[in-house]
Amino acid sequence: MNSGEVYFETEELMAEQAVYRDLLFRFNHTLPSKQAEKAELLEQLLGSFGENSYIEQPLHANWGKNTYFGARVYANSSLTLVDDTRIEIQDDVMMGPNVTLCAGTHPLDPELRRKNAQYNLPVVIEKNVWLGAGTIVLPGVTIGENSVIGAGSLVTKDIPKNVVAFGSPCRVVRALEKDS
């Protein structure tokens, strides 16, 4: 799953994934006021969950275990993690509602898709990035430190640090300035 090469799901993989989906179900059905219980579930579900990070319910994830949250990350409701390989969210990242981080994909070859073939490329969201509502980040993309991605953007390629970018496909619009 982590090689970037095409693979096929096995019964063993599906059984392991079921454990994480049960944890996700428990997180999503925990009362919002039960902060300690939710944090404990996220510690079990995710690869890491940094200090003072917070995820609004509901959360959607293929696995959970392949996603790594830094410190002070805020994710608004309906974050979707297609984390069939590593998704890294570094410190101080903010995500609006309905953000999708997608590390998993399928081959273009229709015969391979018919057999449920898949391959995965990691996603990295560097420190202090803001992802606006409805942003979709595709497999293999890195978004550079301090950058802001406008709402509704489809991020298909790497975004450098210290820029404002938006659109579908997402494009750099300007550099960030200190007084912005």
Q: Which active-site residues does the annotation give?
A: 106
How many Å apart are CA 7 and CA 136, to the nearest integer? 24
Going through 79-162 in order, the beta strands assigned E by DSSP cover 79-82, 87-89, 94-95, 100-102, 104-105, 117-120, 123-125, 130-131, 136-137, 142-143, 148-149, 154-155
| Cα-Cα-Cα-Cα dihedral sign, residues 129, 135, 136, 138 | negative
How many Å apart are CA 134 and CA 149, to the nearest integer? 10
The Cα angle at residue 109 between residues 139 and 85, in degrees rounded to 5: 25
Amino acid sitting at position 148: V
Residues 6 or more apart in contact with residue 96 via CB below 8 angstroms: 76, 131, 132, 133, 134, 135, 151
